[in-house]
A and B are shown apart, each in its own frame.
Chain A
Amino acid sequence: MRVRSELVCTLCVLAGQGAEAAITLDLTSKDSIKRVASTVAFDMMNYYTGNNTGDVPGNLPEPYYWWEAGAM
């Protein structure tokens, strides 16, 4: 594995987009946990282009590594 911080920091970016974009998580609420998981999953999948026409399934675009797609 070679480390790139960008993908790992999807959450940081998401959390740092400004106060109005901060994610509120209520660990006592199943609905809240699912909603936050859905938001984060959607945002992470924004990095993924492997299902676009002409792209390769299971690959992430530069500068991301092949292992990161596997970890996703």
Chain B
Amino acid sequence: MINYWYYTGDTTYNAVTTQALLHQVGEDEDYMPLNQTKTEGNDDQGFWGLAAMTAAETNFPDPPEGSPGWLALAQAVLNTQIPRWDTSTCGGGFRWQIFTFNNGYNYKNSISNGCVFNLGARLALYTGNATYADWALKTWDWMNAVGLMSPDYKVVDGTHNTDNCTQKDANRWTYNAGIFLLGGAAMYNYVSRHPSPF
């Protein structure tokens, strides 16, 4: 809906979009609202963070005074996800689920890693902060090393850490490729402006 406004100039849905984006920020303003966290996955939180990032990038009208800003919300999502990087199996990667009691905690999937890659790349480009680019690079390298992304950029859905990520769910959903495609474009622009670390 933010992109709809940005590309058409039609403000019809801006108020309702702002209301929704702010109502769901949760107690810690990181899109982990208490009534969702029981079943919330990294990708679920990620999608809300990406919406906030889009709002920042497009200069979507600022929230009212006293509310968290779009950039701060996007940063908060990434900052809560980074400590979940899991080196206990598969040489790293983010798990699908946040909590051990949820089905899918053993699944390391492309969309959860793609959310961090995409958000990290866009935050790096937006803020110029190299730490965000480091995390984008780290997830990209892991995706390749573990075999979720092929050398010709085919992205499969995910892999279980129960066999140290040997077997893959080989489904190729477009959103997995898409999230890396957009993040890749952001990284390209970031590297063009900040070539030194690469």
Binding site for B on A (CB under 8 A): 1, 34, 37-38, 41, 45, 48, 50-51, 56-59, 65-67, 69-72
Chain A-chain B contacts (Cβ-Cβ < 8 Å), number: 65
Rounded to whole Å, the gap between the CB of B82 and the closest CB of chain A is: 19
A58 to B21, CA, bound (A): 6
Of B36-44, B120-128, B142-150, the one contacting chain A is: B36-44
A-B contact pairs, 7 of them (CB 8 A): A1-B41, A41-B4, A45-B1, A48-B20, A57-B24, A67-B41, A70-B24
Rounded to whole Å, the gap between the CB of A19 and the closest CB of chain B is: 26
Q: Using A34-B8, A51-B19, A65-B44 as known contacts, list a sample of 12 further A-B pairs with CB atoms less than 8 Å apart, ordered by residue number in A.
A: A38-B8, A45-B13, A50-B16, A51-B16, A57-B16, A58-B20, A58-B21, A67-B43, A67-B44, A67-B48, A70-B24, A70-B47
Chain A to chain B: the 3 pairs with minimum beta-carbon distance, closest first:
A58-B20, A57-B23, A58-B24
A48 to B40, CA, bound (A): 20
Rounded to whole Å, the gap between the CB of B153 and the closest CB of chain A is: 21
Residues of A within 8 A of B24 (CB): 57-59, 66, 69-70
Residues of B5-64 at the interface with A, using a CB-CB cut-off of 8 Å, are 7-8, 10, 12-13, 16, 19-24, 31, 36, 40-41, 43-44, 47-48, 50-51
* Cβ of B111 under 8 Å from chain A: yes
Rounded to whole Å, the gap between the CB of A49 and the closest CB of chain B is: 11
Rounded to whole Å, the gap between the CB of B15 and the closest CB of chain A is: 9
Among A34, A57, A59, A65, the most chain B Cβ lie within 10 Å of the Cβ of: A57
Residues of A within 8 A of B12 (CB): 41
Residue of B nearest to A67 (CB): B44
Residues of B within 8 A of A59 (CB): 24
